[in-house]
């Protein structure tokens, strides 16, 4: 599970499966929850953290208030700030929807370039990956969730 603060919303990205270097994750629009956060959002967050959360003593109206609450409720929680700039491209294929190719410059906690290929059909992702790798043979596959885990342990990816 990847829990993110994106702007003024809490976002959940659920890991589904892995096949070789390819990962399937679910980002459900219903799990992009704007502030202020209600009890349902806190219940989802508790489930994601595999830890019960006490009721907050005030309404969580902003991301910084959520972080402060979490630091008190879960003292051993590691928050990893990932700053990045990204560009999305649509890679046209005969099948709809188009394949999304995301080029990202991760600026912190480590400076690194990233390429993500997104589509619900794995065979289409694999096909686009094979085509793109012809032009970028030195690019290596790496799990984003594994990257965050390493950063949480103050390890670099390369």
Instruction: Please name the residues in contact with 36: beta carbons below 8 A apart, sequence gap of 6 or more.
Output: 59, 60, 61
Instruction: Please name the residues in contact with 140: beta carbons below 8 A apart, sequence gap of 6 or more.
Output: none
Inside any domain, residue 158:
no
* Domain co-membership, 97 together with 35: no
- Whole-number pLDDT of residue 109: 95
Inside any domain, residue 60:
yes
Which of 52, 73, 94 lies at the terminal end of a domain, its last residue?
Answer: 73
pTM value is 0.81
Residue of 42, 60, 62 whose CA lies nearest to 52: 42
In tens digits, the chain (158 residues) has pLDDT values of 889 999 899 999 988 888 888 888 888 999 999 999 999 999 999 999 999 999 999 999 999 999 999 999 999 888 999 999 999 999 887 777 889 999 999 999 999 988 899 888 888 888 888 888 888 878 887 888 889 999 999 999 87
The domain total for the chain is: 2
12 CB-contact burial (10 Å; exposed 0-12 / middle 13-18 / buried 19+):
buried
- Whole-number pLDDT of residue 12: 94
Per-residue pLDDT tens digits for 79-115: 999 999 999 999 887 777 889 999 999 999 999 988 8
Rounded to 5 degrees, what are φ and ψ at 66?
-65, -45
Which residues constitute the domain of residue 41?
2-73
* Domain co-membership, 98 together with 37: no
For the chain, the average pLDDT equals 90
Which of 73, 97, 122 lies at the terminal end of a domain, its last residue?
Answer: 73
């Amino acid at each position: 599970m990847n829990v993110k603060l994106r702007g003024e919303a809490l976002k959940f990205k659920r890991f589904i499966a892995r096949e070789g270097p390819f990962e399937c994750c679910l980002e459900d629009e219903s799990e992009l929850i704007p502030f202020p956060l209600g009890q349902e959002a806190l219940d989802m967050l508790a489930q994601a953290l595999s830890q019960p959360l006490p009721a907050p003593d005030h309404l969580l109206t902003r991301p910084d208030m959520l972080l402060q609450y979490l630091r008190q409720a879960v003292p051993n929680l590691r928050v990893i700030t990932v700053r990045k700039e990204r560009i999305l491209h649509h890679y046209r294929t005969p099948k709809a929807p188009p394949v999304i190719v995301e080029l990202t410059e991760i600026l912190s906690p480590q400076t690194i370039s990233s390429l993500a290929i997104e589509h619900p059909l794995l065979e289409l992702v694999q096909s686009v990956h094979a085509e793109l790798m012809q032009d970028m043979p030195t690019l290596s596959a790496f799990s984003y969730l594994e990257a965050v885990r390493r950063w949480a342990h103050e390890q670099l990816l390369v």
